[in-house]
Amino acid sequence: MYDYSKAFRIDGKVALISGAARGIGAEIASALAQAGASVLVTDVVEGLAKEQVARLRKAGGKAEFIRHDVTIEADWAAAVAAAVQLFGGLDIVVNNAGIETAALISQCEVEDFRRVLDVNVTGVFLGVKHAIRTMAPGGAAGKGGSIVNMSSVAGIIGTTAHVAYHTSKGGVRLLTKAAAIECAQLGTGIRVNSIHPGIVGTDMGDNFIKHFVDLGLAPDLDSATAAIKGLHPMGFGKTDDVASAVLYLASNASKWVNGSELVIDGGLTAA
């Protein structure tokens, strides 16, 4: 009989989560640690990341931090090597780090556009590349595994004043599918999937709403919040809604799920 109680556990696995100092990434680190994994918390922000590691350890989890800018390839090589050295392997890589910028297309500076693509797309590409090198047969970990890429509903639908963000998250969606096919066809034992949350209450989620006021597209924060909340049939999401989805994709319960786009938005994109 298939053992469902074990299928959702990830005991003994090693997970690397980028952008895990706060917000969704920090919650993903908690979820994976609680489900049994050793977690390498990585971020460009050190103080908050170290506090998160301390919280995970206090709760009985195994956690370490390494400073890691996802746009720098040498940082990726060092991060995956650190996971193997500290915990003896690498099974799960969550490409979570991301940034946004808000501007009407006619006002969007090319430097801002490029920066968002650099972090959100090139950062994910490098994460997928180094995860495959490490987790595929012959790599330093070599046992296959699961890669989860953080896209957004913004990778499926558009909104005003976020052209760089939408472009980047659409890129993550298809980067994921290309990697999923390649990994399966080469027999790597690695699955690659993307997650597509609606608005979640984090620094980024709050700023997304505030930008509509800053740009004069909404009269005040209350009306901007009400308008954007109104698009979500079940209201805004929480970080644990997203972390639960990552845990599913990281675990053996999703062993036949590859190249999928898991939408977590309370019905926003169902309409």
Q: Write out the residues near ligand NAD by the rule CB under 6 A.
A: 18-19, 21-25, 43-45, 68-71, 96-99, 119, 123, 150, 152, 197, 199-200, 202-205
**Shortest Cβ 171–ligand NAD spacing (Å):** 12
- State the residue for tokens 């996802």: 70
Question: b vs e for 121-149, b when ≥16 Cβ sit within 10 Å of the residue's Cβ?
Answer: bbbbbbbbebbbebbbeebebbebbbbbb
Sign of CA dihedral 236, 238, 241, 246: positive
Q: List residues with catalytic annotation.
A: 165
**Shortest Cβ 5–ligand NAD spacing (Å):** 29
Check: CB of residue 89 under 8 Å from CB of residue 14: yes
User: Rounded to 5 degrees, what are φ and ψ at 18?
Assistant: -85, 150
Which lies closer to ligand NAD via its Cβ, residue 26 or residue 136?
Answer: 26
**Shortest Cβ 121–ligand NAD spacing (Å):** 11
If you write DSSP's letter for every residue of 184-239 in order, what string do you get? HHTT--EEEEEEEE--BSSHHHHHHHHHHHHTTSSSSHHHHHHHHHHHSTT--B-H
Strand order in the sheet with 38-43: 62-67, 38-43, 14-18, 92-95, 145-150, 190-197, 261-264
Which lies closer to ligand NAD via its Cβ, residue 86 or residue 99?
Answer: 99
Q: What would the two tokens of residue 176 be? A: 């994921």
Which lies closer to ligand NAD via its Cβ, residue 19 or residue 266?
Answer: 19
Check: CB of residue 245 under 8 Å from CB of residue 226: no
**Shortest Cβ 182–ligand NAD spacing (Å):** 22
Which lies closer to ligand NAD via its Cβ, residue 88 or residue 233?
Answer: 233
Which lies closer to ligand NAD via its Cβ, residue 1 or residue 271?
Answer: 271
**Shortest Cβ 234–ligand NAD spacing (Å):** 14
Sign of CA dihedral 84, 88, 94, 96: negative
In 3D, which of 68, 49, 69 has the Cα closest to residue 57? Answer: 49
**Shortest Cβ 185–ligand NAD spacing (Å):** 27
* CA gap 153, 266 in Å, rounded: 11
